[in-house]
Amino acid sequence: MEKYECPCGYKYNPAVGDPEGGIAPGTKWEDIPDDWVCPVCGLGKDAFTPV
């Protein structure tokens, strides 16, 4: 599964998810709700780029 990176440097790893943000491990990027934000800086999902 592809990882995505925020401009702040946070990398979303689908294998880990974002449990504190309500995203379970194994959640694909496209399955994350559009209103999810970076847990580090608060930028929206649209600010992330594939890495």
Q: Please give the pLDDT value at position 31.
A: 98
Amino acid symbol at 14: P
Residue 1 pLDDT exceeds 80 = no
CATH of domain 1-51: 2.20.28.10
Contact 3, 13 (CB under 8 A): yes
Q: How far apart are the first and last CA of the chain?
A: 11
Average pLDDT in the 18-34 region? 97
Average pLDDT in the 5-30 region? 98
pTM: predicted TM-score of the whole model, two decimal places: 0.92
Q: Helix, strand, coil: what percent of the chain each, to 5?
A: 20, 20, 65
How many whole angstroms separate alpha carbon 37 and alpha carbon 45?
6
Residue 4 pLDDT exceeds 90 = yes
> What is the number of other CB atoms lying within 10 angstroms of the CB of residue 37?
14
Would you kindly state where each structural domain of the chain is located, as residue ranges? 1-51
